Amino acid sequence: MEKKPTAEQETKADEEPKILVNKTPFKERIVPGMFFRRLMGWNYVELFMVLGPARPEDFEGFGEDRQFKCARVTPGIMGDAYELQVSDISTLCVKDMASEILLEYDSPTRYYFMNV
C-alpha cells in the first residue's frame, strides 16, 4: 500500500525551485571563463572571455586597475550564436568591463549561445 504524501510534502513539491543569485559585484569575482561586455562608445559593444590575470599581482585583491588576458567573442554564422576567438587576445583593465554575460557552450554546433 502506497503512502499518501502529507500536506507539507505536497506544498514543497508545488513550490518553484529557488534560483541562487550571487550578489557580489562581478568585478570582485572575476575568474577565468567569465564572459563580459566592454562598451566602446555609446552604441558599440564587444564581448570577451577572461583567460586569466595578466600580472602576478592581479591574482589577489580587488580594484579597477587589475588587468586580465581576455579572448574576443565574435558573432557566429547563426544569428544568436557566438564564437570564441582564442587567437585574438587582449589585455583589459577591470574598469573597462561593463557587465557580466552568461554564454552557454553547445558542443554539437561548437558555438556559444546567450543563456536566458
Q: What CA–CA distance (Å, rounded) separates 93 from 67?
A: 4
pTM of the model: 0.75
- The answer to whether residue 13 sits within a structural domain is no
Query: Is 19 inside any structural domain?
Result: no
Could you tell me the residue range of the domain that residue 74 belongs to? 24-114
Would you give the DSSP letter of residue 20? P
Residue type, 98: A
Q: What is the CATH number of the domain that holds 36?
A: 2.30.30
pLDDT tens for the chain, 116 residues long, are 556 655 555 545 455 555 556 677 888 889 999 999 998 877 778 999 999 999 988 887 788 899 999 999 999 988 889 999 999 999 999 998 999 999 999 999 999 998 76
Number of Cβ atoms within 10 Å of the Cβ of 111: 19
* Domain tally, the chain: 1
